[in-house]
Each structure stands twice: as C-alpha cells, then as structure tokens.
Structure 1
C-alpha cells in the first residue's frame, strides 16, 4: 500500500476534530510511525502532510494561523445561505433528508447570522438593505447569481454622520456634477461555514451578484481555520477583487445566541455583549469600483420590487439631505 493510502487510513484516528487542539507535525510523525508499514523519512512524511492538507478529499487539514494539523470535517450540505433554505429547488433541501426539524433549525441559524451582520454593520455607521422576496418559493434559480442577501451603503460625503446628521451639501453637489454617486454600494453574500468543497461556488455567486454594485463581500459566520481554504479564497480575491471575511462565530456559539428578533431588538448592553462574542477577521479586502453599473441596476429594478425599494430609499436620502436607515413600508 502506498504511503498516501496508509496515511489516509491512519490519520483520521490520530487527528483532533477541533483546530484549536491541532497536533504539531513532530508529534504527528511520532504517532503515525507506530502504525505505519515501511521506512519513510521525516521529510517524506512532512511533505505528504502538506500536500494532503491541500486536498479537500483528504482527512488532514492544516491550521490557517499557527502550527499543527487537525481532522477535516465531512462536507456540509449547501445550506449556508438563506436562498438555499428559503426556496428555489427542493432538491437543495434533500441533503437534510426532508427532515423538517433540521431545515427549521438550519433556517433559524441563518436568520441569526443575518441579524448579527445587520447589527454589526449598523454599529459601524453603514446602512444595510436586505433582499428577501427574490429568494422566496418559486423564484427563478438565476436569482442566486443576480441578487445578494444584503447591500451595504456607505455615504461618501467626506464626514462622519449618523441618522440625524445632514449630508454635506457641497460634497454632495460636487459628486452629482461629476456624475459620481454620493454613496458606495457593496453587495454581500452570507454563509455560515466555508468548506473546500463549496467555497468556489460561494465566491462566484458573490462575484456575479456584485457586478451591478461597486464591490462585493463574502462573509462567513464560522472562523476559517483551514490554511488551504484561506489560501484558495485569497487567490480568488487577488484575481477578482471580492472581499472575504469571517465573524469568528463557531456553530456552538451561534446555537447559544438568542433568536434573530431578539438580536435585532436588543438593548445597548445586550448588543455590546453580543459584539464581544464576534471575532471579526478580514481574510481578503474587497476592491471597489468607482462607478455603479446603472444599466444592470435598471434591469434588476424592472425584475424586482425590492431593487426598486432600494433605489427609492437612496433617492429619499439624497432629497432629504441625510442618511436614514431603511424602513420597510
């Protein structure tokens, strides 16, 4: 049996599940030798550990920061985003075996993360807009590639502002004269957990849904601890400019958090306690374009009432001279 095949059989029982308990290469070599057939050098074993950790089908993964290896988990069902849960194709729910409780549980997890992202964005003086109706039952499958879960609006007026602060009129006037939007739109795709099996689909859906805005961000709830996964995401970012970040909230922590409605309506002290549980990490920074694709935005406006609502909200802010949070009619 080849060395790689032997390692594929031996490693699952030796590697810890939790990346925080990752085992260092020297100790892993010692443990492997107790079960290994054949006389292989330390260098050969280290080489195989490194190569296998980049293979999504192998049982070994290397931690993103620090040293050590852990056991790669099995592929997770493609249920990280709200759109897979809320609609489109019943086939996307088959991974849960038509278990309604499991589906409800996964949906609640997604709602919690949406609420966390929304509160985080608001606390950082940005203005979120959520897309929901484009992902309801019966919606076209192509909506996955047209619409993000959220759009973040950053008002580019040259000064800080809050809900009651007037937009700086001279800067606003100048940008309008130059044909520049006084705001920056960033589309965001939200996912619960990244995997080597699905990160490319996550990334390119984010890219496709961001072409009409000025940039895109792929945001994961769980920390990205797999070195090969992080490197793969950075390589895509270098080529296409979509940002990638993690809120550092593991699944156990997410389960312990209150329901989405409670998160959105939390008192300041409760919100502060929630924010303390977030360990935000920027994996790769987004590259923003100067202009919005107005033609593509007009096309989406004709297809979606929500896009029309986004445009109406932005126009209302400009006409009123102040940045206001979006409120559903």
Structure 2
C-alpha cells in the first residue's frame, strides 16, 4: 500500500477534531511511525502532510495561524441562504434527509447568525437592509446569484447622534453634482461554515449577487482555521475583490446564543455581552467601486418589491437629511 493510502487510513484515528488541540508535525510523525508499514524519511512524511492538507478529500488539515494539524471533518450541511427562506423543493437542504427537526435546528442557527450580523453592523454605524421575499419557497433558484442576503449601507456624508446620522447638506450636494452616491452599498452573503468543498460557490454567489452594488462581503459564522481554505479565499479575493470575514462562532457557540428575536430586541448591556462572544477576524478586505451599476439596480427594482423598498428608503433618508434604520427592521 502506498504511503498516501496508509496515511489516509491512519490519520483519522490520530488527529484531533478540534484545531485548538492540533498536533505538531514532529509528534504526528512519531505517532504515524508506530503504525506505518515501510521505512519513510521525516522529510517524506512532512511533504505528504503538507500536500494532503491542501486536498479537500483528505482527512488532514493544517492550522491557519500557528503550527499543527487536525482532522478535517465533514462540513455543516450547506444552506442556500442566510434565512428561513429556501424551500425543500429547491433541493438545498437535502443533506438533512428530510428530518424536520434537524432542518428547524439548522435554520434557527442561520436566523441567530443573521441577527448577530445585523446588530454588529448597526453598532458599527452601518445600516443593514435584509432581502427576504426573493428567497421564499417557490422563488427562482437563480435569485441566489442575483440578490445578497443583506445590503450594508455606509453613509459617506454624515455625523452620528443618538437617533440617526445627520447627512451633511453641502457634502451631499457636492456628491450629487458629481454623480456620486452619498452612500456605499455592500452586498453581504452569509454562511455558517466554510469548507474546501464549497467555498468557491459561496464566493462566486457573493460576487454575482453584488455586481450592482459597490462591493461584496462573504461573512462566515465559524472561524476559518484551515490554512488551505484561508489561502484559497485570499487568492479569490486578490482576483475579484470580495471581502471575507469570520465572526468566530462555531455551531456549538451558535446553539448557545439566545433566539434571534431576543438578539434583535436585547438591551444595550445584553447586546454588549453577546458581542463579547464574537472573535471577529478579517480574512481579506473588500475592494469597493465608486459607482453603483444603476442599470442592473433598475432591472432588479422592476423584478423585486424589496429592491424598490431599498431605493425608497435611501431616497427618504436623503430627502430628510438623516440616515435612519430601515422601517420595520
């Protein structure tokens, strides 16, 4: 049996599943040698560890920041959107085998994560707008490539106060004369966990769904600990500019959070305590364009009442001279 085949059989029993308990290469070599058939050099073993850690089908993964290896586990079943929105008929929850309790549990995690992302951005002076209806049962599967789960609005001409952001009239007027929007729209795609099997689909959905905005973000709940996975995301970011970040919340941490409604309605001290659980990490920064693709936005406005609501809300903020949260959010 080849060395690689032997390692594929041995490593799952030797490697820890938790990256925090990763085994250093020297110790892993010692453990492997006790069961290997054949005489292989340390250099050969290290080479195979390194090569296999870049293969999504192999059982070994390398820690993203630090040293050591851990067992690559199967990813959490992928949900199409970050909402309670994708119908079973669209075939996106098949991995859960029709188990209604498992589906409800998975979707509850998704709702919690969406609520955390919303509160995090609100406290960082970004105004979220959520798309919902375009992902409901019966909606075209292609909507996953046309609409982000969330639009994050950064007003470029404003000063904060307790109630709203006051838009500076002279800067607002100048930007309007120059044909520049007084805000920056970033389309956000939300996902629970990244995997080597699916990160490209996540990334290009985020890119495709945000071609009409000024930038795109791919936001994961779980930490990205696999070095090969992080490198792959950074390589795509370098080519296409989609930002990638993690909130450091694995599925166990999400399960420990209160329900989404409680997160959204928490008092300031409760919200502060919730956000202290986050370990936000920027994997790759987004690149933003100056201009919005107005033609594409107008096409979506004709298709979707939610896009029309987004435009109406932005216009009302400009007319009133104050940037406020989306009504009913």
Identify whether the pair has TM-score above 0.5, normalized to the shorter chain. yes
Q: How does the TM-score come out when normalised to structure 2? A: 0.97
- Contact 2:88-2:94 at 8 Å conserved across structures: no
Deviation at 1:145, TM superposition (A): 0.2
In 2: Cα distance, 1:22 partner to 1:47 partner: 18
C-alpha distance in structure 1 between counterparts of 2:287 and 2:159, whole Å: 22
Determine the structure 2 residue equivalent to 1:323: 323
* 1:248 has 2:248 as partner: yes
Question: For residues 186-214 of structure 1, what are the alpha-carbon distances to aligned partners after superposition, in whole Å with 9 as ceiling and x for unaligned?
Answer: 00000000000000000000000010000
Query: Which residue of 1 is the match for residue 306 of structure 2?
Result: 306
Q: Which moved more, 1:182-191 or 1:161-170?
A: 161-170
8 Å contact from structure 1 (residues 88, 135) kept in 2 = no
Tell me the distance in 2 between the aligned counterparts of 1:12 and 1:127: 45
Alpha-carbon distance in 1 for matches of 2:138, 2:179: 38
Aligned length: 329
Residue 148 of structure 2 corresponds to 148
- SS of structure 2 residue aligned to 1:142: helix
Q: Is the 8 A contact 2:245 2:280 kept in 1?
A: yes
Give the structure-1-normalised TM-score: 0.97
Q: SS at 1:92's partner residue?
A: coil
- Deviation of 1:165 after TM superposition, in Å, equals 3.9
CA distance in 1, matches of 2:13, 2:165: 59
CA distance in 2, matches of 1:2, 1:142: 44
Quick one: distance in 2 between partners of 1:79 and 1:236?
A: 21
Change (3 A) 1:311 1:152: same
State the 4+ residue runs in structure 1 displaced beyond 3 angstroms.
158-165
- Report the Cα offset of residue 91 of structure 1: 2.0
SS at match of 1:154: strand
Render the CA deviation track for 1:246-266: whole Å, top value 9, x for unaligned: 000111111010000000000
Note the residue ranges of structure 2 that are not aligned, 5 or more in a row: none
Alpha-carbon distance between aligned partners in 2 of 1:185 and 1:14, rounded to the nearest angstrom: 47
What is aligned with 2:167?
167
CA contact (8 A) 1:88 1:138 kept: no
User: Contact conserved, 2:24 with 2:68, CA < 8 A, in 1?
Assistant: yes
